[in-house]
Amino acid sequence: MPQLYDIFFASSNKYKYQEVKKILDNFGIKVGFFKYDLTEIQADTIKEIAVQKVIDAFNQCKKPVIVEDDGLFITSLRGFPGPFSSYVYKKIGNKGILKLVQTKRNAKFQSTIAFCDKKKKPILFEANVSGKISKNLRGKGWGYDPIFVPSGKLKTFAELSNKNELSHRYRALKKFASWFLNKRVSTYR
């Protein structure tokens, strides 16, 4: 018997899907994986990228869908890599970022969740977490997790066992979950 899902998460990144699924499971939202290589436009904001990706995803799957786009914004690099984080990670990785960052290590991770269904205008949920760039790679994780230390913590996201309870992605998904669950309740009244 096929599993029924409340929504789909569109991405080519299985690690991101696993995080999203684990987080939304805690809110009672069933998420299916729509493995799809979304066209990632080059834009000045994460919002613009997320909107385009979710419209593309909905046009492909024709089901309620979310996408997530995020970026690492390093203060001393004037917000770089920001909306170009995925591209920069593929080109220079964490070691390249560590070489670029000298003494001022403040940074923030920003996440935008975009939801779309029935070709309506996408709805966005945003959150961020402040922190700093570590001096070296620490922990085993994916993306920038081994170099990002959230404020108030001594460990990187990759070293934290409770990353999914405090990350930028968690905060944005929590906003989405609250909205989605309220929408679902009001639909059945």
pLDDT tens track for 87-131 = 999 999 999 999 999 889 999 999 999 999 986 789 999 999 999
Burial class from Cβ neighbours inside 10 Å (0-12, 13-18, 19+) for residue 43 reads: middle
How far apart (Å, rounded) are the C-alpha atoms in residues 126 and 93? 25
Q: Which of 56, 69, 70, 145 is catalytic?
A: 69
What's the CA gap between 144 and 82, in Å, rounded? 12
More confident call, 5 vs 186: 5
Is the pLDDT confidence value at 50 over 90?
yes
Q: Is the pTM above the cut of 0.75?
A: yes
Active site residue 25: no
- Encoding tokens for residue 67? 């996408």
Pairwise pLDDT comparison (119 vs 13), residue with the higher score: 13
Structural domains in the chain, CATH included, are 7-187 (3.90.950.10)
